[in-house]
Amino acid sequence: MELSILNTEGKKTAKSVKLNKEIFEIEPNDHAIYLDVKQHLANKRQGTHKAKQRAEINRTTKKLKRQKGTGGARAGSMKSPLFRGGGRVFGPEPRDYTFKLNKKVKQLARKSALTYKAKDNCITVLEDVKFEKPQTKQYISMLTNLKLDDKKTLLVVGDINKNAFLSARNLSAAKVVAAKDINTYDILNADNVLLCESSIKQIETILS
């Protein structure tokens, strides 16, 4: 697949780039995508949820009533889950949700996600974006020129571009990542993927 390289004004330049078939035109594997997205979301979970069980509740253990003759069940402590303010039965405990996923499965998932975007013509190749200073207005202007201001976008830069990152940080529908940090979830979550010219070689190196 060969794509023209656009500038930040949305106009075609004299240059074009040929995308690697082994990355952008493979047979997609939906199960690999599912596993990679599942791991990504699981790894983001804090896992700090906690509810007190009856052993951790600070309430009286004085016997509330006589054991027999009341017509009701026995009750020996206000810590019981049956009473208001008592302990929680099988409540959540702090835990680690992360799990391991093989490197080749993650590579296959990213290739599959990029293939889907390429099939849907949702990949745009840009000249390397340069921001002299963080400016959200300039970033919005670039998206408007590309007719993508009403869509979710993922801008993939070659190297960490702090000014580009800061310019897009306040936009809920825009995200900037370095090529080495690209992941399946971000690719699929975006309506359109913007690849900077220098990022393509790095993506091919990482995924080949």
Query: What pLDDT shows up at residue 111?
Result: 95
Say whether both 62 and 159 belong to one domain.
no
Domain CATH number, residue 147: 3.40.1370.10
Say whether both 117 and 25 belong to one domain.
yes
Say whether both 80 and 154 belong to one domain.
no
- Cα atoms in the Cβ-side hemisphere of radius 13 Å centred on 34: 3
Tens of pLDDT along the chain (208 residues) come to 788 888 888 888 888 889 889 999 999 999 999 999 999 999 999 999 999 999 999 998 888 888 899 998 988 899 999 999 999 999 999 999 999 999 999 999 999 999 999 999 999 999 888 888 899 999 999 999 999 988 999 999 988 788 889 999 999 999 999 999 999 999 999 999 999 988 999 999 998 8
Say whether both 21 and 114 belong to one domain.
yes
Say whether both 135 and 32 belong to one domain.
yes
Query: What pLDDT shows up at residue 190?
Result: 94
Say whether both 142 and 202 belong to one domain.
yes
Query: What pLDDT shows up at residue 22?
Result: 92
Residues 6 or more apart from 76 whose CB is under 8 A from it? 61, 63, 64
Say whether both 39 and 60 belong to one domain.
no
Its domain, for residue 108, covers 2-45+101-207
Say whether both 60 and 147 belong to one domain.
no
Give residue 198's Cα distance to chain centre: 23
Query: What pLDDT shows up at residue 56?
Result: 93
How far lies 134's CA from each of 49, 58, 139, in Å? 37, 53, 9
Report residue 165 as tokens. Answer: 């990152």
The alpha helices in the chain, defined as continuous H runs, are 21-24, 30-43, 103-119, 136-145, 162-168, 184-189, 197-207
Identify the burial level of 153 via C-beta atoms within 10 angstroms of its C-beta, where 0-12 means exposed, 13-18 middle and 19 or more buried: buried
Query: What pLDDT shows up at residue 52?
Result: 94
Say whether both 183 and 134 belong to one domain.
yes
Q: Which amino acid is at 121?
A: N
Say whether both 64 and 22 belong to one domain.
no
Q: Which of 55, 73, 96 is the last residue of a domain?
A: 96
Q: In three state form, how does the secondary structure of 24-45 look?
A: HCCCCCHHHHHHHHHHHHHHCC
Query: What pLDDT shows up at residue 131?
Result: 85
- Per the structure, the count of domains in the chain is 2
Q: Which of 70, 96, 122 is the last residue of a domain?
A: 96
Q: Which of 62, 96, 130 is the last residue of a domain?
A: 96
Distance CA 133, CA 156 (A): 18
Say whether both 72 and 36 belong to one domain.
no
Indicate the angle between helix axes 30-43 and 103-119, nearest 10 degrees: 110
Query: What pLDDT shows up at residue 27?
Result: 94
Distance CA 43, CA 28 (A): 24
Say whether both 146 and 197 belong to one domain.
yes
